[in-house]
Structure 1
Amino acid sequence: MTTNKPITTSFTHHSTAMDVIKGVDLVRRRAIVTGGSSGIGVETARALASAGAEVTLAVRNPDAGQKAADDITGTTGNDRVLVAPLDLADQGSIADFVANWDGPLHILVNNAGIMAAPLSRTPQGWEMQFATNHLGHFALANGLRPALAAGDGARIVSVSSAAHLRSPVVFEDIQYDNREYEPWQAYGQSKTANVLFAVEATRRWSDDGIYTNSLMPGAIQTNLQRYVSKEELDRMRSGNAAAWKTVEQGAATSVLVAASPLLDEVGGRYFEDCQEAAPAQPGQRTGVADYALDPEAAERLWQVSTALLKS
């Protein structure tokens, strides 16, 4: 039964994806991990595969995806690790992926993303971080909704970030048409959108047995930082070196949200360090902002996103 109590677990900041998946049986379950060829995506996929799931790596570079799939098969013994092309900034690519999907889907991990990128836009004029991190995954999840509904208790994992604390969704100018572009603020807006998506998707789809939660994986050095200068990265690390995680630790909260029995019929919540997060406090870089869980903002974002995809 659904509970309103905060979800707590025995896992910690230091737990790995393999710690979290231990004892979980995902045989006969099917999963998709976007951005599954590197970083925490490949470790999330590895953990799900180790529990017996069929895992599809949805990736921009199929060659890199196949190398990751072969590595996962080699380490888990699971040969049901598949690769499919997906570019989240390209609505045609998303439509093709959805059209090629057949049968039920039990776990969708919306993991791929870009961070603090210079200003660029899709052909539709959408700001690239918002388009990739939110709108791409929004379109993907909506396209796969029938498959998720057929999954009998499906879960969507929306990988957000503590960077959501940098900015709410600025509905008056989401695409930075009229305000000065700031890479980290734009990233923060897209990560708030990931949390709001989990809130509204659960409200709309829980009757279909589909539950969505969001999470902060932690500070992990991956390809996600490719737009961050070495100087800025060094400054970030020196600020709190103990807070940084390995990729195996960084994937742990994603795997918890994807597969833990503790989250059966639980949705619309935000997790960090394998626990449900507390409300954010001023001056802190942990917890979840009130505006990211606001049901009115979540519904508004859904309506805006739907309209953008139809335009």
Structure 2
Amino acid sequence: MQLIQTDFNATSTAEDVIAGRDLSGLRAIVTGAAAGIGIETARALAHAGADVTLAVRDSNAGRAAAEDITTDSGSVAVHIAEIDLADRASVGRFVNGWKGPLHLLINNAGIMAGPLSRTREGWELQFATNHLGHFALARGLHSALAAGAAQRHGARIVGLSSSAHTRAPVDLDDLHFLRRPYDPWTAYAQSKTAVVLFCVEASRRWAADGIVANAVNPGGIKTGLQKHVSPDLQRTWDAAEAAGDITLKTPQQGAATTLVAALTPEFGSTGGHYLNNGNEAPTVPNDTDLGYETHAVRQWAKDPETARTLWDVSTALTDTAF
């Protein structure tokens, strides 16, 4: 099957993707929009005329981000709403507070490679935040997305994954590291594989409602996400960058692939894809040797049976959010 390609690439910016687009009437939610890639994604949407809600854990940071975007874009349709994705009750309050149709849900928020921490339920925090919280949010907003799809000939969900997904599949027998030794990078990788699997199954289940979901790899960007990276690993990354083995992007370039999945016609009617550098990435076998900077998606992240099972498990875990 031919991969979906666009006119965008690794050097494209958020501004490039929104150029010439009028998003008046489009309602969007961007989680984790107070900084980094999230704020640049929200900024671009506001510049193009969308009504944007910044879904943030820190309301003070959210207000500062909203003021910055409003000043920069001139938009009067930038809002903030609190959400803690690791707290089922918080997700439920956000969902219950949303009124009207929704056209675009960008699941951007995330945490990376921190020390072992658990939610009150005992869930491993990276999996709870990066996958389960966004899973519950999307399911809770399904009716709003379906209404938005009916208005605008489709609604979209964009999930931010990572090339780190290539390091680990989802361990359905021990999602929360109750039996296996905890490794922060394995936990992060598992959560980012789960993001892709969610998009695969959401697109299958919700296609009749006009909703598609696609996952993106934003690329390597220096943001607050790296706060738990050790100095030794950071030096290794710096050396790899100096050697040309990896190429870092700006936050504006990182937001570009998110916006390609969110706005371009090429990804408007088909879901379950994994985008890298503005285009669909090839799927490779699980045992393929991949280097620092891979542009592929592993088969374990696209497996439909695993996606169905993970959906059922995630539903059982999060249903009491509502």
Q: TM-score range by the shorter chain?
A: over 0.9
User: 1:38 — aligned with what?
Assistant: 35
Matched-pair contact (CA < 8 Å) for 1:213–1:268: yes
2:128 matches 1:131: yes
2:278 matches 1:274: yes
Matched-pair contact (CA < 8 Å) for 1:157–1:214: yes
CA deviation vs aligned residue, 1:14-61 (integer Å, no higher than 9, x gap): 110111111222110000000000000000001111111000000011
Structure 1 letter corresponding to 2:272: G
Given candidates 278, 283, 294, the residue that maps to 2:290 is: 283
User: 1:294 — aligned with what?
Assistant: 303
Matched-pair contact (CA < 8 Å) for 1:46–1:72: yes
Structure 1 letter corresponding to 2:265: P
Task: State the distance in 1 between where 2:310 and 2:225 align.
Answer: 25
Given candidates 16, 19, 23, the residue that maps to 2:20 is: 23
Task: State the distance in 2 between where 1:58 and 1:237 align.
Answer: 32
Secondary structure at 2:10 match in 1: coil
Matched-pair contact (CA < 8 Å) for 1:217–1:273: yes
Query: Aligned pairs, how many?
Result: 308
2:180 matches 1:173: no
Query: Which moves more between the two structures, 4-13 or 15-24?
Result: 4-13
User: 1:76 — aligned with what?
Assistant: 73
Task: State the distance in 1 between where 2:283 and 2:305 align.
Answer: 18
User: 1:240 — aligned with what?
Assistant: 241
2:206 matches 1:205: yes
Task: State the distance in 2 between where 1:42 and 1:88 align.
Answer: 17
CA apart distance, 1:66:
0.9
Task: State the distance in 2 between where 1:256 and 1:237 align.
Answer: 28
Task: State the distance in 2 between where 1:97 and 1:21 align.
Answer: 28
2:9 matches 1:12: yes
Secondary structure at 1:170 match in 2: coil
Structure 1 letter corresponding to 2:289: P
Secondary structure at 1:176 match in 2: coil
CA deviation vs aligned residue, 1:131-187 (integer Å, no higher than 9, x gap): 000000000000000000000211000000000001000111111000000000000
Structure 2 letter corresponding to 1:276: E
CA deviation vs aligned residue, 1:220-252 (integer Å, no higher than 9, x gap): 000111111233223113213551000000110
User: 2:47 — aligned with what?
Assistant: 50
Secondary structure at 2:297 match in 1: coil
Correspondence 1:133-282 to 2 at 5 A: 133-152=130-149, 153-241=154-242, 243-280=247-284, 281-282=288-289
CA apart distance, 1:117:
0.9
Matched-pair contact (CA < 8 Å) for 1:237–1:244: no
CA apart distance, 1:68:
0.7
CA apart distance, 1:79:
1.3
RMSD: 1.1
Task: State the distance in 1 between where 2:261 and 2:5 align.
Answer: 12
After TM superposition, the runs of 4+ consecutive aligned structure 1 residues lying more than 2 A away are 283-286
Task: State the distance in 2 between where 1:14 and 1:230 align.
Answer: 28
Task: State the distance in 2 between where 1:282 and 1:84 align.
Answer: 42
Task: State the distance in 2 between where 1:310 and 1:260 align.
Answer: 33
Give structure 1 stretches of 5+ with no counterpart: none
Secondary structure at 1:19 match in 2: helix
Task: State the distance in 1 between where 2:290 and 2:307 align.
Answer: 24
User: 2:316 — aligned with what?
Assistant: 307
Matched-pair contact (CA < 8 Å) for 1:159–1:217: yes
Task: State the distance in 2 between where 1:310 and 1:48 align.
Answer: 31
* TM superposition score normalised by structure 1: 0.97
* TM superposition score normalised by structure 2: 0.93
CA apart distance, 1:279:
2.2
Task: State the distance in 1 between where 2:23 and 2:250 align.
Answer: 24
Structure 1 letter corresponding to 2:185: W
Secondary structure at 1:119 match in 2: coil
Task: State the distance in 2 between where 1:81 and 1:248 align.
Answer: 19
Task: State the distance in 2 between where 1:148 and 1:35 align.
Answer: 19
Secondary structure at 1:158 match in 2: strand
Give structure 2 stretches of 5+ with no counterpart: none
